[in-house]
Amino acid sequence: MNDLQVIQSKIYVIRGQRVMLDFDLAAAYGIETSQLKRQVRRNIERFEGDDFMFEVTRDELSRCQIGTMNIKQGHNIKYLPFAFTELGVAMLSSVLRSPVAIKVNREIMRAFVEFRHMAASLPQTAADVAQLRKDFEDLKLDIEDILHDQNEINEDTRAQIEAISTALAELQPKEPKPRRRIGFVQEEENNN
């Protein structure tokens, strides 16, 4: 997995926004989560508004499928994580000025842009959706034809197996031949 894929796996959708959580960002930057939060609190005016950063609620944590939460933080989280949007991550670059932070921010921005490109490539117009629906119906008809042909082949095969079974049954002798007795045979005396 390359760096871009690793970062993309750390992007979650919370409150309808793509975000990264503070502990994932801290790990990427190579710093403690508390240090990241401390820098954010010192510069909180840069992160005002939910379009930059917000604190995740316990309810949102329970609804999100964040597997790393249970491993890293445990079930009883003392401090709720901050969720940073794309704008918030960009703003972090002005707060965290280390060369590692700058390098990681570039990769994170690329990951967010990649998500945007994927979203843009989804069908946007009614014509696109209609074309997808038509393609789906054509595919459905093709599959039904293939299944129908398969059923016909199965019926033909079943009929051939029955014909072979009937032919083998006709080749079998009707009455079994009398078997010669094996072992010491004592001839019966005729007492006539």
Residue 159: HSE in the Cβ half-sphere, 13 Å Cα cutoff:
6
Residue 190 in domain: no
Instruction: Say if 177 falls within a structural domain.
Output: no
Amino acid 78 reads: K
Same domain? For 8 and 95 the reply is: yes
- Give the strand pairing for 82-84 and 53-55: antiparallel
pTM beyond cutoff 0.95: no
- Is residue 30 one of the residues assigned to a domain? yes
Q: Looking at the structure, do residues 136 and 114 belong to the same domain, yes or no?
A: no
pLDDT value, residue 191: 54
The pLDDT of residue 53: 92
Beta strand residue intervals within 35-178, DSSP E: 53-55, 82-84
Q: Is 19 helix (H, G, I), strand (E, B) or coil?
A: strand
Same domain, 113 and 66: yes
pLDDT at 190: 56
**Residue 105 and residue 10 share a domain:** yes
Q: How many domains does the chain have?
A: 2
Same domain? For 71 and 83 the reply is yes
Tell me, yes or no, whether 158 lies in a domain.
yes
Q: Is residue 138 part of a domain?
A: yes
Same domain, 14 and 92: yes
Are 116 and 146 within one domain?
no
Domain assignment present for 175: no
Backbone angles phi, psi at 17, to 5 degrees: -120, 145
Q: Which domain holds residue 7?
A: 3-120
Q: Which segment, 38-42, 105-109, 145-149, is predicted with the most confidence on average?
A: 38-42
Do residues 110 and 147 both lie within one domain?
Answer: no
The mean pLDDT value for 30-52 works out to: 89
Do 111 and 153 sit in the same domain of this protein? no
The C-alpha angle with vertex 29 and arms to 61 and 98, in degrees rounded to 5, equals 140
Q: Are residues 82 and 136 in the same domain?
A: no
Residue with tokens 């209609």: 130
How far is the C-alpha of 68 from the C-alpha of 132, rounded, in Å?
36
pLDDT in tens, 86-131: 888 888 877 887 788 778 878 888 888 887 777 777 766 777 778 8
CB atoms near residue 104 (< 10 Å): 22
Q: From residue 166, how far is each of 154, 171, 175 by CA, in Å?
A: 18, 9, 17
User: Is residue 100 within 8 Å of 29, Cβ to Cβ?
Assistant: yes
By the 10 Å C-beta count (0-12 exposed, 13-18 middle, 19+ buried), 138 is classed as exposed
